[in-house]
Amino acid sequence: MTSSTIAFVFPGQGSQKVGMLAAAYARSEAVRATFAEAADALGYDVWALVQHGEQETLNLTATTQPVLLTASVALWRAWREAGGPDPAMMAGHSLGEFSALVCAGSLEFADAVQLVRKRGEFMQTAVPVGEGAMAAIIGLDDDSINKVCAEISAGTAGEVAAVNFNSPGQVVIAGHTAAVAEASHALKAAGAKRALPLPVSAPFHTQLMKPAGEQLAQALAELTLKAPKIPVVHNVHAETETDPERIRSLLVEQIYSPVQWTRCIEHMASAGICKIVECGPGRVLSGLNRRINSELQSYSLEEPLALSQALEELAGQAAGSATDTE
């Protein structure tokens, strides 16, 4: 059964934490099976890392990406295991787009978990450590941020650009370390409330990531992609696609293109979505989504009680407004 008013969204890097999904793992066979499948694909005990590893290890990009994808897919499978309805749409923030495509049936999980480990490695090595940086700009409009970044990039400090349009008043910039520092200073002078350096060691979603995109394209060429069974709104252009080859291209473009998260959520709302389920650890996206559109209702699935509450409310609504029955 599919509900025309529900969407699922999948978080990206930053939502990982040691001990996540402990209660869900104890409760759900689907969660346990998903982590076991990830361990088989990756060659190490993913669950042990998530529960007993060091946070510093979990934060390494090549580790974070497969771990978060596994956690998100595990919660999606727990939702399905509990009889939850299919959403009308999906989207994922950066890495989360891969989680969405797995859950939509476009990518096989075992392929995807190995792919995003490589993606993390490609992204980390595209720019030497120390040469790239990112910062969150709070309280300034998109046009002003783009203008300042263009002015800084035209100078001698290097390249800097807006790369994550997370919500109105929250935009992430990235680029060469000196350029990000200069832009942060200039943006505060232009009226930004805060310019917060982010604890990352690479300038994700900038043109500096093009070498990583080339490597990802080669890895993707070896995999089979299918048309998604549930439409996925893509980060690059905030639209859905059905052609697997177009999806393949967008996954490559995404690595060096801005994440248009605000537009993705606006696209969903304009299509009639009014309830959004965050399928992954934490509630980062729920906070962003409320700032984008305060009328959207948010749900989470990480804790079994939250899953049960979402199921109780959304399954009943889906039964009353179903658009399809499997």
> Hey, what domains does the chain have and what are their CATH numbers?
2-126+208-324 (3.40.366.10), 132-201 (3.30.70.250)
Q: Average the pLDDT over 73-90 and give the result.
A: 97
pLDDT surpassing 60 at residue 167: yes
Instruction: Give the confidence band of 323 by pLDDT, cuts at 50, 70, 90.
Output: very low
Respond yes or no: is residue 176 known to be catalytic.
no
pLDDT surpassing 50 at residue 239: yes
Global pTM value: 0.95
* Structure confidence at residue 1 (pLDDT): 66
Pairwise pLDDT comparison (61 vs 247), residue with the higher score: 247
Pick the catalytic residue from 94, 99, 153, 167. Answer: 94
Instruction: Give the confidence band of 200 by pLDDT, cuts at 50, 70, 90.
Output: confident
Pick the catalytic residue from 205, 257, 267, 300. Answer: 205
* Structure confidence at residue 319 (pLDDT): 53
Nearest to 214 by CA among 94, 101, 119, 129: 119
Residue type, 128: P
Phi, psi (degrees; rounded to nearest 5) at 228: -65, 140
* Structure confidence at residue 325 (pLDDT): 30
* Structure confidence at residue 326 (pLDDT): 34
pLDDT surpassing 80 at residue 275: yes
Respond yes or no: is residue 4 known to be catalytic.
no
* Structure confidence at residue 318 (pLDDT): 59
Query: What distance in Å separates the CA atoms of residue 279 and residue 144, rounded to the nearest whole number?
Result: 33
- pLDDT digit string (tens) for 281-321? 999 999 999 999 999 999 999 999 999 999 999 987 655 55
Q: Which letter, b or e, does each residue of 57-83 get, where b requires 16 or more Cβ atoms within 10 Å of its Cβ?
A: ebbebbbbbbbbbbbbbbbbbbbeebe
